[in-house]
Amino acid sequence: MSNTISEEIVHVNGTPQKLVIFLHGYIDSADYVEGKISYLLNNLHNTAVHLPQAPIPCEVYEAKRQWYSMHRFDPDDTRKTVPTMDEFRAIYEKMKPGIIEAAEYVNRYIDDCLEQYGLDNGDLYICGFSQGATLAIFLSLMRDSQIGGCVSFSGVMAPHSYLASHYRSAPDFLLIHGTKDNLLRFEALDYTKTRLREMGCAVSEYVIDEGMHRITEDGVAQALAFIEGRSIKKVAI
């Protein structure tokens, strides 16, 4: 795989004892996500936060980026409109080649970041939004040893058939999703939670009532508490 991440936004607070990798979404960019997670960036201590920029121009809008092509597997965007969760899941199952290809080059980037700070997988938290969240879930399950945890904003576990037989560890997860998500259906939260728990993962969830397909301030506050190991039920901003 020739794709290499060469653009990133980095925030370092104190002496890094943890590394947070935050993956942006489809038709998205690192600088957009940076503006949405300022509360996280300003309140994590002794932590390095890296927001890598996907190296692939987006097939929909070249000024933005993608981790892998969606139209290669779903040319008509039917994942957004299919009536059943089974049909939705089947479309994401088809994306296995793209997700695996993206995981290869993102894992190389993560390994380099860990080496930079002298940290291990146990110090690593992988977060993501939308396409980045789906990739974050995949990466977290497929690292050679267990990471500190994973935060998914509006993501889905995919491809389940591959992960169920190939996953290498079972880290903790926080799944964040809005009930009115119009691009990646809310039912993906329960589906992902169930599948992860079958693998032995401890899974917490945060449901945003009437929430759409976006990163919200309260969701970011929950992510901060999760990464810091605090109770996620008592966080407010």
- Sorted by where each begins, the domain ranges of the chain are 8-228
pLDDT at 188 over 80: yes
pLDDT tens-digit series, residues 117-174: 999 999 999 999 999 999 999 999 999 999 999 999 999 999 999 999 999 999 999 9
Whether the per-residue pLDDT at 219 is higher than 80: the answer is: yes
Q: For 56, list phi and psi in degrees, rounded to 5.
A: -105, 120
Beta bridge partners of 19: 48, 124
Average pLDDT over residues 80-109: 97
CATH of 8-228, one of 3.40.50.1000, 3.40.50.620, 3.90.550.10, 3.40.50.1820: 3.40.50.1820
What does the pLDDT look like over 58-76, one tens digit per residue? 999 999 999 999 999 999 9
pLDDT of the residue at 2: 62
Whole-model pTM? 0.95
C-alpha–C-alpha distance, residues 43 and 51, integer Å: 16
State residue 236's pLDDT score.
Answer: 39
pLDDT, residue 22, reads: 98
Q: Answer yes or no: is pLDDT of 192 > 60.
A: yes
Write down the pLDDT at residue 1: 42
What is the residue whose two structure tokens read 């904003």?
153
Contacts of 163 (CB under 8 A, 6+ apart): 138, 141, 142, 157, 195, 199
Whether residue 14 has pLDDT greater than 90 = yes
Between 81 and 235, whose confidence is greater?
A: 81
Which tens digits make up the pLDDT trace of 99-115? 999 999 999 999 999 99
Is a pLDDT exceeding 50 seen at residue 235? Answer: no
Tokens 């969240």 -> residue: 133
Please check the confidence at residue 237 and state whether its pLDDT lies above 70: no
The arithmetic mean of pLDDT across residues 32-50, rounded, is 97
SS3 26: coil
